């Protein structure tokens, strides 16, 4: 069973208004209402992915999705991104941030992540806005993942809203590497040495090669069935 993190729900529901800053604090209710819509979109995307995984378990006897991680971008992260892109820090400009709602899907094999992405975006209520394939064209530091920016309809009491969600789909190995890269980038490691960066890049290449080899072994095993 793939579950939405209990800690995630608790942190979102118990978010304190006094922690808000600037206009976000002046109009705290509106801010929370907007974030609630993104939270609802995350839950909807999660449900869609769970259904796909359950269907494949029945029809193909396989579960391509190992687990799902979710996150709602924090106010501090939103403000940092607005500053970086020169966006005025106002509630009305929140829609200019495309990755407020984030879902990470972790699969075992490379072909699984492409299969999941294809099945998800072909649903008629999912609008694909952008795709960035960092697996075929990895970032310079070695980062690999498949990024989808989608828009889905979410139904509330009296209105239907289209909400953007960023979905990152990667293998277990890519996710393991990504966590370490994230620690280096965001957890106060301001100036990683050239040696560390080069070693991390080398690890990314080794991991990718391993993913490819594991994929080929799986395909050979399928041919023996």
**Domain positions in the chain:** 6-174
| Total Cβ atoms within 10 A of residue 100 | 26
Mean pLDDT per 10-residue segment, the chain (225 residues): 45 51 70 89 95 92 91 86 89 90 95 95 96 95 95 93 96 91 65 78 93 92 75
pLDDT at 27 (0 to 100): 75
* Helix intervals (H) in the chain: 6-13, 22-26, 28-59, 75-84, 110-121, 172-186, 194-223
pLDDT at 190 (0 to 100): 57
Contact 110, 212 (CB under 8 A): yes
Distance CA 112, CA 63 (A): 9
Distance CA 145, CA 83 (A): 26
Q: What is the pTM (predicted TM-score) of this model?
A: 0.86
Distance CA 14, CA 12 (A): 6
pLDDT at 162 (0 to 100): 95
Kindly state which CATH superfamily the domain 6-174 is placed in. Beta Polymerase, domain 2 (3.30.460.10)
Q: Would you state the structure tokens that stand for residue 44, as one six-digit string?
A: 């909807």
Q: Would you state the structure tokens that stand for residue 19, as one six-digit string?
A: 């922690």
- Kindly state the DSSP code that residue 151 receives in the 8-state scheme: E
């Amino acid at each position: 069973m793939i579950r939405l993190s209990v800690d995630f729900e608790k942190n979102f529901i118990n978010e304190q208004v006094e922690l808000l800053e600037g206009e976000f604090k002046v109009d705290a209710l509106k801010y929370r209402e907007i974030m609630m819509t993104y939270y609802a979109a995350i839950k909807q995307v999660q449900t869609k992915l769970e259904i796909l995984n359950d269907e494949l378990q029945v029809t193909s006897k396989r579960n391509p999705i190992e687990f799902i991680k979710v996150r709602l971008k924090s106010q501090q992260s939103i403000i940092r991104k607005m500053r970086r892109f020169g966006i005025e820090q106002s509630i009305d400009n929140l829609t200019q941030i495309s990755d407020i709602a984030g879902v990470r899907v972790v699969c075992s094999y490379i072909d699984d992540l492409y299969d999941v992405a294809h099945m998800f975006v072909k649903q008629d209520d999912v609008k694909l806005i952008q795709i960035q394939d960092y697996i075929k064209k990895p970032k310079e530091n070695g980062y690999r993942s498949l990024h989808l920016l989608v828009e889905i309809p979410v139904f509330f009491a009296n209105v239907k809203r289209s909400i953007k969600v960023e979905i990152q789909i990667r293998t277990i190995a890519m996710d393991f590497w990504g966590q370490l890269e994230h620690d280096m980038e965001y957890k106060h490691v301001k100036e990683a040495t050239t040696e560390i960066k080069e070693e991390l890049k080398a690890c990314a290449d080794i991991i990718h090669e391993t993913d490819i080899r594991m994929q080929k072994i799986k395909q050979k095993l399928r041919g023996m069935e």
